[in-house]
A and B are shown apart, each in its own frame.
Chain A
Amino acid sequence: MNEIAATLAARALRIGRRIISRPRIDMPLALGLLALALIGLTVLFSASNLDKGMVAGQAMRFLAGAALLVAVSRIPPSLLRAWTPWFYVLAVLLLVVVKVLGEGQGAHRWLDIGVIRFQPSELMKLAMPMMIAWYLHPRPLPPRWRDVLVTCVLIALPAYLIFKQPDLGTALLVAASGVFVVFLAGLQWWKLGAAIAGLGVAAPVAWHWHFMHGYQRQRILTFLHPDRDPLGSGWHILQSMIAVGSGGLLGKGFNHGTQSKLEFLPEHTTDFIFAVLGEEFGLIGVLLLLAMYAFIVARCLWIAANARDTWSRLVAGAFALAFMVYVIVNGGMITGLLPVVGVPLPLVSYGGTSAITLLTGFGVVMSIHAHKKWTP
């Protein structure tokens, strides 16, 4: 027994040494993510009213995510690419399971498997670009109409499942991450324009057919007229704008945000944590955070551009663009630019699945970076 343990320990040690001595990690990206995670924990500490347990829990999730990141970064992209269809099918199946198991509850987004609860829709944020890239990479690019049609189906299926959860925001973002692959694959601008125009026509139709849930329609109406019902659904937007606006240039200081402390700001540890940051750290803090995100995205795109194969490029690029979109949507939501859709601020909002999935995604990017010199 001891021998086996010793062998295992020696092996783990060897692997650890190899990771350190021959890093597969892109240091600028890693440092950016670390800084982001630290900012996230700081803001969460304040937003949770100095709840150490909550911050420790989130830190644990970050560590788990980091471990996954390192692990995934060791896997060659060719292998990841080969697993992609299975990953995608698994994620779709999980969505179906959630749909079936969650029957009877208001919104079923969560899957409870004993120790961990997670949202399969978050998993899809990663599975989607991987899958579309997998489908497109052996085919002539820019994609032909036929291929676009297939990708459309591949995008629409999980997006629809998520939309019916119901989670309009995530559905749109998941779909966007697929669309980004097609965009990066070089689909002609006019075709892209046509597709978007088609969507523009479809939206009112969906509205008309009562395709949307009442609360989804309500959210959009509220977004259009936030003052209509200041204590109802307009409350979120209004209080969030008050939080951000009252923060001013320099903010009210750590733990001094009245809007979040006094519970005026709803969901202030999750979807609205950006407003807490805006209130306590002001415009300076907001711009610093946005710059941080932009840097991470730029770095990912740089890695993508230098990747050796099409799949890697498309996955890393689409993931980076989708990541940026989460930030934009969340920022737009809390400042009243966009309707309230439950989209967390990546790596800052409290929540495990999102953080772990994102870090895993960065693990894929790291792997692409580490293996760019090798023949896949």
Chain B
Amino acid sequence: MNDHRELPDERLRRARFARRALAGFAIMLAMVLAVAGRFVYLQVYEHAEYSTQAKANRVRLRHLPPPRGLIYDSEGKLLADNVPAFRLDVVPDKVRHMDAMLHRLSMLVPLTPDDIRRFKQSLRQYRSFESVPLKFRLTESERDRFAIDQWQFPSVSITPYLTRNYPYGAEFAHVLGYVGRIDEKEQQRLDPDLYAGTTHVGKTGLEKEYENLLHGSPGYEVVEVNADQRPLRVLQQVAAKPGKNLYLTIDERLQRATYKAFDGQTGAAVAIDPRNGDVLAMVTVPSFDPNLFVNGISQADYSALLDNPEKPLLDRAMRGGYPPGSTVKPFLGLGGLELGLRKPADTVLSTGTWYIPGSSRGYRDDTRYGAGRVNLVQAITQSVNTYFYSLAYQMGIGRFDQWMSKFGFGRPTGIDLPDETGGVLPSPGWKRATFDKPWYPGETVIAGIGQGYWMVTPLQMAHALTVLADGGVSRTPHLLAATSDGLKAPEVAYPQAPPVQITHAPADLEAVKQGMLGVVYDKLGTAYGLGDGFPYLIAGKTGTAERYSRTTNAYNNDKNLAYLAKRHRAWFICYAPANHPRIAIAVALEHGAWGGSAAAPIARKMLDQWLADTPPAQRPPLPVTAVAGSPPSSVRGTP
């Protein structure tokens, strides 16, 4: 065709094509070289960078939070353990529309407004590519329902974890405290390396106090993941080091018996072994279920606790301050002897009312016409105010304050619990600092019977009592006896503060003890009959503090117990066996009519439990008590 006729043109076309083809190939080659250059750049110059990125892509570091240490009582009973549970975690980075996702999710797993509020709070605490816990302790059916539709929620995963569990609930709530989710403030305070992967931290009680022992240190896992971050296999694992197990001085049986003995009455009791400062029981009533707090308490439950007029969240045993009333008398009496102001046999005439010399303001006895002439033993036994009015007045507030502070009044005992309060030991200095007012002599007088500004916690009272019980030696009360690294690891005794001898007068202590024995065994004793049937001698003291001061000079003859209970706080302190003290108890009732009738029976139930708990081989030798109604001759006071 054309080709034949136009051969010269054809040759021209061929040559032109060859040129163009060469030019085209050259351009292509240049572009191929550009692409090749790009490969060289990526694969040679940037290789290290992309290699790292590929590894970072593929490998995830997963923290293994350490299992929290367990808490045991003195007999090895488990008070706080970890139980396996499941929670929902969300990676916020992978969520496009958080609210929509949560809404869809809530169709499968019910999410309360509390859950969502807390989740949104914690969103701020985590980096956006980290897993943020959404809902703890999924039920089995929630877990199943989610598992079926999990593919719809690439950002949500089920994570197994260990959750804290308090098998005894309310009975130990104030002592053990509880763990809760780490909040924003804690997040800033806690060591991020140590708490990587940990969601909970001790919030109150022993859980908070010994957080550093209980926590342990985290391990980690190097996991290969795919693009959806689903783990495929574990490349490397470094196990977490579990927290230390704690062995407490608390006896679970005594603790529970005490809680039961209160029968719901508001108050607190503390029992301490005077020989070593071991806290055997520490009870606050009413209490609460600490398990509610572990995975986030609901607003309704929390409001119920806050609105309860009896304030179940208040740890009365170490934060409840009450005027000690007559329970200060043994301490003051001892002071009188030690400071040389009185001898045991010295008597004071009680006529029903005592006046500061040269003043007409009267300070009353409990009995209208007084108890007559009483010595120290009788004064303690019958709780004769006049004796102690005059003694306190004689001592003066300076020496009074100094002496009483030796027993630890007015400052925290130093027990191994957080946020203990120190109460108030009245003194002119304290009054000046608090109210900016001068001290009046009358205030010294009423301080002598534990009224006025006095505030003592049951723990302080029990601690002070151990000093009387153990020959004037003060020991810091403590709850932690020993720790161990694991179930099989040996227990290691926890170091305790050294004891301090605060008085060296056995004869004086003996006189005070006689008075306290009289309280229980003398017919005139304010807790007479309490020792009936108990094989060991009990040395005790009642206390009844007025919540309101007297406004008139008239005698109030209303003896209705319910009425009095509203006005009084009842105390009872005792230790036993009197000759070989093993347990010192302080019981305080917020609404007790009389110390002897309301608080003392609780102490007796505690003693009974203590006896039952002590195997016969470990009991002290028995110079047993006398039968009811006939107190041992040694305790009979001089008439």
CB distance from A19 to the nearest CB of B (A): 27
CB distance from A197 to the nearest CB of B (A): 17
**How many chain B residues have a CB neighbour from A under 8 Å?**
46
Answer whether residue A118 sits at the interface, using C-beta atoms and an 8 A cutoff. no
Which of the segments A202-210, A293-301, A357-365 contacts the partner chain?
A293-301
B32 touches A246 (CB 8 A): no
- Cα A245 to Cα B43 in complex, Å, equals 4
Question: Which of A242, A264, A308 counts the most chain B CB atoms within 10 A?
Answer: A242
CB distance from A184 to the nearest CB of B (A): 5
Closest residue of chain A to B19, judged by CB? A186
- A-side contacts of B13, CB under 8 Å: 141, 186, 310, 313
B20 touches A245 (CB 8 A): no
- Within A28-56, which residues are at the interface with B (CB < 8 Å)? none
CB distance from B93 to the nearest CB of A (A): 7
B51 touches A246 (CB 8 A): yes
A184 touches B28 (CB 8 A): no
- B-side contacts of A337, CB under 8 Å: 34-35, 38
Answer whether residue A263 sits at the interface, using C-beta atoms and an 8 A cutoff. yes
Map CB proximity to A onto B30-57 as digits: 1 under 8 Å, 0 otherwise. Answer: 0110111011101110110111011101
Answer whether residue A244 sits at the interface, using C-beta atoms and an 8 A cutoff. yes
Which of the segments A63-71, A86-94, A95-103, A323-331 contacts the partner chain?
A323-331
A263 touches B228 (CB 8 A): yes
B51 touches A332 (CB 8 A): no
Closest residue of chain B to A250, judged by CB? B43
- Within A189-233, which residues are at the interface with B (CB < 8 Å)? 231
- B-side contacts of A158, CB under 8 Å: none
B25 touches A298 (CB 8 A): yes
A290 touches B35 (CB 8 A): yes
- Cα A249 to Cα B226 in complex, Å, equals 25
CB distance from A301 to the nearest CB of B (A): 5
CB distance from A29 to the nearest CB of B (A): 15
- Cα A136 to Cα B322 in complex, Å, equals 111
Answer whether residue A151 sits at the interface, using C-beta atoms and an 8 A cutoff. no
Answer whether residue B227 sits at the interface, using C-beta atoms and an 8 A cutoff. yes
- B-side contacts of A57, CB under 8 Å: none
- Cα A178 to Cα B220 in complex, Å, equals 60
Answer whether residue A156 sits at the interface, using C-beta atoms and an 8 A cutoff. no
- Cα A283 to Cα B93 in complex, Å, equals 34
B43 touches A264 (CB 8 A): no
Answer whether residue A349 sits at the interface, using C-beta atoms and an 8 A cutoff. no
Find A286's partner among B24, B36, B54 (CB 8 Å cutoff): B36
CB distance from B177 to the nearest CB of A (A): 42
CB distance from B84 to the nearest CB of A (A): 30
B29 touches A294 (CB 8 A): yes
- Cα A259 to Cα B224 in complex, Å, equals 12
- Cα A250 to Cα B20 in complex, Å, equals 37
Map CB proximity to A onto B1-13 as digits: 1 under 8 Å, 0 otherwise. Answer: 1111000001001
B24 touches A287 (CB 8 A): no
Answer whether residue A304 sits at the interface, using C-beta atoms and an 8 A cutoff. yes
CB distance from A190 to the nearest CB of B (A): 14
A332 touches B25 (CB 8 A): no
- B-side contacts of A120, CB under 8 Å: none
- B-side contacts of A141, CB under 8 Å: 13, 16
Contacts A245-B47, A248-B44, A262-B224 known; A331 to B25 CB distance under 8 Å? no
Answer whether residue A183 sits at the interface, using C-beta atoms and an 8 A cutoff. yes
- Within B183-229, which residues are at the interface with A (CB < 8 Å)? 224-228
Contacts A246-B53, A259-B57, A305-B18 known; A294 to B47 CB distance under 8 Å? no
- B-side contacts of A259, CB under 8 Å: 54, 57-58
CB distance from B300 to the nearest CB of A (A): 39
- B-side contacts of A324, CB under 8 Å: 28, 31-32
Contacts A246-B50, A305-B17, A321-B24 known; A328 to B227 CB distance under 8 Å? no
Answer whether residue B234 sits at the interface, using C-beta atoms and an 8 A cutoff. no
Answer whether residue B304 sits at the interface, using C-beta atoms and an 8 A cutoff. no
Answer whether residue B14 sits at the interface, using C-beta atoms and an 8 A cutoff. yes
- B-side contacts of A328, CB under 8 Å: 28, 31-32, 35
The 9 closest A-B pairs by CB, nearest first: A245-B50, A246-B54, A331-B35, A245-B42, A263-B227, A283-B43, A262-B226, A324-B28, A335-B38
5 sample A-B contacts, Cβ–Cβ < 8 Å, listed by A number: A142-B16, A239-B57, A244-B50, A304-B17, A308-B3
User: Can you add 20 more A-B contacts, CB < 8 Å, to A262-B225, A336-B38?
Assistant: A180-B24, A183-B20, A231-B93, A231-B94, A239-B227, A241-B42, A245-B49, A246-B47, A246-B55, A249-B47, A259-B58, A262-B232, A263-B227, A278-B42, A283-B44, A297-B25, A305-B14, A305-B18, A317-B20, A335-B42
